[in-house]
Amino acid sequence: MNYFVTGTDTDVGKTLISCALLHAFAERGMRVVGMKPVAAGGCDENGRNEDDKKLRAASNVQAGFGQTNPYCFTHAVAPHLAAKFVGVSINMERIIESYRELAAQADVVIVEGAGGFRVPLNDGEEISDIAVELGLPVILVVGMRLGCINHALLTTDAIKTRGLELAGWVANVLDENMEMLEGNIETIKQRIDAPLIGVVPYQASPDARDVAKRLDVVPLAQ
């Protein structure tokens, strides 16, 4: 019942969908908690990340900031660059330890990646390695805009190459004027061997609780 949420790129709605999943599972009476292992950018003066704050607000299990967001960096760049800038090395064991602490407290842990699926963490590891080390099935957020088919299929291939299960995908509409939206969604459906668990229409100010109503988590909960 734990999942790793990745996206076809940065800023495609991973946090929105992660929060919506937390709300959806909570509605089913489950203890839920979100985790942002690594965040680069969006940190306040106390070193607390905005995405992590949203995940915590959507969770009904309250944990320490060090558990939900072990690494938070100020610069909005790739994590390995943000870490190097401040002389920090991202350690996978620390992420694994924090995850295990959260998993012991909740029925569902939603782990949100950073950027796309193959963003570097350090000199030898990538974001994808978090999902591999934790052994989590993946939920893919596809940002529906020009180029989304290629990005969705490439990311799907990368997920399968790492030996991970693609549990489902979400079509998150980013371009309110996207041409042939339904055709794009149908094309991706035909080529991805995983259920489409929701289509999220374009919203200038999306609300995770509203988005949760648009997600079908039944295939995930079985």
Catalytic positions, written as ranges: 36
Task: Return the DSSP state at 170.
Answer: E
- Give the Cα separation of 70 and 25 in Å (integer): 24
Task: Please measure the distance between the N-terminal and C-terminal CA atoms of the chain and give it in whole angstroms.
Answer: 9
Query: And the tokens for 99?
Result: 């995850």
- Give the Cα separation of 39 and 193 in Å (integer): 30
Query: And the tokens for 40?
Result: 């680069």
Q: Are 49 and 69 in contact (CB under 8 A)?
A: yes
Q: Are 104 and 130 in contact (CB under 8 A)?
A: no
Q: Report CA-CA distances (Å) from 203 to 2, 137, 144.
A: 27, 28, 13
- Give the Cα separation of 198 and 159 in Å (integer): 20
